[in-house]
Amino acid sequence: MTKIVFLDIDGVISPTESSGHEVLHPERIGHYDEQYYLEAAKKHRQKYNMSYLDSYDMYVVDTCWSTLAMQKIKNLLLATDSKIVMESSWIHSYNEKNMPGLLAMAGLKDFYLNIAYGKDKLDGITKYLNNHPEVTDFVIIDDEDYWYLAQNYGFYLVQSNDVISDEDCLMAKDILQRRYRFTILDNDIYLWYDDKKILASKYRYSHSSRGKLLLVYQVRIFNKQMIKPAIRILIKQLTKYAYDLNCDDGFVLVANREYFKRIKTDFWFVIGYQRVNINGEFLTNINEAVMVHSEYSPLEKIELWEKMRF
C-alpha cells in the first residue's frame, strides 16, 4: 500500500505573491552573494552526489521557500505515511539524481520517491499512476488553475493559494485517509465525511450557454462547520462529473450566499448579489447566489444570471 502526494513547489512551498514568510536565511533576502552561493552549491552537490545545483536556485530556497510550509508538508507526510512524487516545473532542471539533494534543503529528502514526467502535469500524473498500481491513495497539491487536472481527478486536487495553508493540509490529509466520499443518485451528488452526509447537490436542469451544455445544481450544507472544505471539494468533483458527461462549460452552483462568502478561489466568481433584489423572480430565495467559472466574461455572467430560473 503506497500513499502519494503529487507535490508542486511554486505556490505551495515557495510563495508566489505574499511576503513576510519565515525563510531559512532571512538575513540574505535581497542580497545575492554569488561567490558565497557558488561555493555553497558546490559543497551541497558533493554532499548529496548531485550533478547539478544552480547557485541562484540555492539562494531562492534560502530566501523564498517558506519554512512553515515545509514543516506543514512534512507533518502531512508523517501523519499519512505518504511519499512525495514531484510534479513541479522544477523537475525540468532537477532529475531523479538531483531532486533528493534539492529537497534536502527543505528537510523533505527522506520522503522523496519519484518524479512524474510527462508532456504536462496531467500526463505526468496519469502515466505515473498507470505505471504504479501499488499506489492506493493520492492527492495533488498545486496552486495553478489547471482546469484539466480538476476535470480528470476531481477532488483529489487540492489547490493552494500563494502558499499551502493549514486548511489545504487538513483537506489533503482527509483525502489520503479516505474520510471523504461521494454518492450519485439520478445526477444528484452527495458528499459524506466519516460516513455522515455533509452536503447535497441537487440537480435542477441543464442550461444551454454559448452553444454548450451547462449543469445547474442547488447546494445544501448539513454541517456548517465544514462549509468551506465541502464547497471546495464539491467544485472539484463536479468539474470532473460535468467533464465526464461532455458538458464543456461545466456547471453552475446555486446556494445560500453565506456559503460562498467563505470561499476564496481563483476558479470561481459569485454573481447576482445586487441583482437579486432588483428582480427576485430569478431565485427562489433572495439569500441565494450563483457561482460560475471565471472563464465567463462579465457580460456573459449577466446574461447567464438573467436566464436563470429555479
Instruction: Report the pLDDT value the prediction gives residue 195, as an integer from 0 to 100.
Output: 95
Per residue in 143-181, pLDDT (tens digit) is 886 778 888 998 999 989 889 999 999 999 999 999 999
pLDDT at 287 over 50: no
| Grid cell digits, residue 241 | 462529473
Instruction: Report the pLDDT value the prediction gives residue 299, as an integer from 0 to 100.
Output: 55
For every residue of 271-285, DSSP letters joined together read: E-HHHHTT-GGGSSS
Instruction: Report the pLDDT value the prediction gives residue 158, as an integer from 0 to 100.
Output: 93
- Residues 57-66 have a mean pLDDT of 94
38 pLDDT tier (thresholds 50, 70, 90): very high
Where do the domains of the chain lie?
2-176, 180-307
- Residues 188-216 have a mean pLDDT of 81
Between 3.40.50.1000, 3.40.50.970, 3.30.530.20, 3.50.50.60, what CATH number should domain 2-176 receive?
3.40.50.1000
Per residue in 64-110, pLDDT (tens digit) is 999 999 999 999 999 999 999 999 999 999 999 999 999 999 999 99
* CATH class of the domain defined by 180-307: alpha beta
247 pLDDT tier (thresholds 50, 70, 90): confident
Instruction: Report the pLDDT value the prediction gives residue 20, as an integer from 0 to 100.
Output: 79
